[in-house]
Structure 1
Amino acid sequence: MEIKANLKQRLVGGAVLLLIGIAFFPLVFNAAGYEERRLESRIPTAPEVVRLVQTERPAPVIIEQVPVAPVTETPVVSAPVSEITESLDALRPSLNPAEEAPALDADQVPAAWALQLASFRQEANARELRTRLINAGYRVYIRQGEDVVRVFVGPEMQRSRLEELKVSLQQEYGLEGMIVRFTTQ
């Protein structure tokens, strides 16, 4: 008997919920949102094309060709030979191949060197220094460490070049760097 009463209560409850759903269904799903989404077209109509009938032809335009005078003399620019040779001598590398040949490491790979200029806790400071040095014409890169960001100049195959660079950067920027072995990690 108890099962029958329980079943009756469930059927009555389901019927009440169904009636409530039927009553509220038109209120919720009345397509008011569809009416709101309907937009009027704001695209203007196409302009009317008017064709003009031309009765007269325009007068032709006559372009006169003016002869170009031939160049009789080739301009000659003379530069002092001594200045050119001095400039070329300044650009010529000053390496002694016997003393500064790239050394090979244990894996028979040429050893390269880099100049570590600074270490920063904040990456923004390292990036700012890198930008300043790149704008000055140096080859600069940064490396992320565990808690610092390091700024390097290089790499170079000859350590002596970095030693000269270290002196000039110390004079120019007040940064005292140290020469370290270049690695790709």
Structure 2
Amino acid sequence: MLGKSVQVKLALALSVVLIIWLIVALSGWYKRPAVDQTRRIPAAPGISAIDLLMPQIDTNTTQDIVAKGLFDPDNLRLVPAGEAPIYGLDEQGMPLVWLLLVEETDDLNKAELALANVRSRGYKAFIQRSGPAEKVLYGVYIGPNLQRSRLQEAMTGLDKQLGIRGELYQHVR
């Protein structure tokens, strides 16, 4: 048990704390934050609605237009083995971009089969359609890549694995 003097001191301390709390609470020194009830959300701006005009599309066109892709064969140049640098910049200061043509065929199913075969070996590849509408060719390309040496390694690997001899192309801007 606590001694008589300790009990008196404890009671006195609690009384002082209670009196201070009552003074603060009842005097209004502590106030809750006042919410300003006079403020309102501003009205919407008086802007009239904009009428959008739909473009007039001529549906009578019968001409088949083939869009040119980024790696269209017109933008590719066959590069002999020792002619171009392994990596670097072209005349415009842009990085050299290399592609490896694995197969070119006029049968889309055959191109898709070759694409699946190349992708199953871990290469990033795509099919590029080229040629006029009468004679469409589908090229299976590996790339694009900024390092010619990686595509040369892929070319020798595909030659050993599948007996496919690819051609190395540089993208010309």
Q: TM-score range by the shorter chain?
A: 0.3 to 0.5
* Structure of higher CA gyration radius: 1
Q: Determine which structure has the larger strand proportion and give its number.
A: 2
Higher RCO (C-alpha 8 Å, min separation 6): 2
